[in-house]
Amino acid sequence: MTRDEILHVPSMPAFSPSYPRGPYRFLRREYLIITYETDAEALRRALPEPLEPHPENLVYYEWMKMPDSSGFGDYEESGSGAIATYNGEACNFSIQMYLDDEPPITAGREIWGFPKKWGVPRLKVTKDTLTGTLHYDEERVAMGTMTYKHKSLEKELDTVKAGLGRLNVNLKLLPDVTGAPKVAQLVGYRLEDITVHGAWDGEARLDLIPHVNCRVADLPVKRIVGGRHMIVDFTLPYGQVLHDYLA
């Protein structure tokens, strides 16, 4: 391979790249998001400076079903995040994510710093209940349930869309070949070209089971705020560096 050929490869391995160049388009992506209050000290440990937690220590646990995503295919995902602020601006910070497809795990970690690991999440409608589960190493570590389409947000879709367009933040960490930190950044991005096909609010419940290698229960549930179900299209663009810890 020549130098130009090497620099043209979108991802490793060069002989069979894991993912193509972006941006990446998602169609009919389905969400179950359960927002809750957690322990203040646990949240502070999970939230990197200079991010600040929500005054009520609000976090969210979510399931996502991606039936059609360019470059990544058909997969499902689950994980937790925090409602926070960056320099006074409201943002969502990704804490941990588990999914069942190699290309978005690799691309997510390498490009944006998404905290992705392998897991088996599932989101489905069971009779009258929207149900999400997550298994890690064959053990169930999370289950969320929400009433199915009890409160439509059809008259508030512009507000839902604006919320989806807010700043999202990841902590990107990559070691050098010596093992020393090579990249240590807060990375920000905003979803683009958003279309909301439907959105619903409702009552929800969340059960998180302690596991040493899938620490979703380390942010304990103190109070459920509510659940949201959405079906949306959007484009995931490249991001920008908000804060460089090595600078």
What is the 8-class DSSP label of residue 161? H
Give the pLDDT confidence of 117-176 residue by residue, as tens digits.
999 999 999 999 999 999 999 999 999 999 999 999 999 999 999 999 999 999 999 999
Judge whether 62 and 96 are in contact, CB under 8 Å.
no
Max distance between CA atoms of the chain, in angstroms, equals 59
Give the pLDDT confidence of 33-86 residue by residue, as tens digits.
999 999 999 999 999 999 999 999 999 999 999 999 999 999 999 999 999 999
Q: For position 61, what pLDDT does the model report?
A: 98
Cβ burial, residue 87 (10 Å; 0-12/13-18/19+)? exposed
Rounded to a whole number of angstroms, the distance between the first and last alpha carbons of the chain is 34
Q: Can you tell me the mean pLDDT for 211-230? A: 98
Judge whether 33 and 227 are in contact, CB under 8 Å.
yes
The CATH number of domain 21-236 is 3.40.50.300 = no
Q: For position 94, what pLDDT does the model report?
A: 98
Percentage of the chain modeled with pLDDT above 70: 100
Cα 35 from chain centre? 14
SS3 99: strand
Percentage of the chain modeled with pLDDT above 90: 100
Q: For position 151, what pLDDT does the model report?
A: 98
d(CA 145, CA 179) in angstroms, rounded, equals 42
Tokens of 35: 């927002």
Amino acid of residue 77: E
Q: For position 199, what pLDDT does the model report?
A: 98
Q: Can you tell me the mean pLDDT for 175-179? A: 97
Q: What amino acid positions are annotated as catalytic residues?
A: 116
pTM for the predicted model, two decimal places: 0.96
Taking all residues of the chain, what is their mean pLDDT, rounded to a whole number?
A: 97
Domain locations in the chain?
Answer: 21-236
Cβ burial, residue 39 (10 Å; 0-12/13-18/19+)? middle
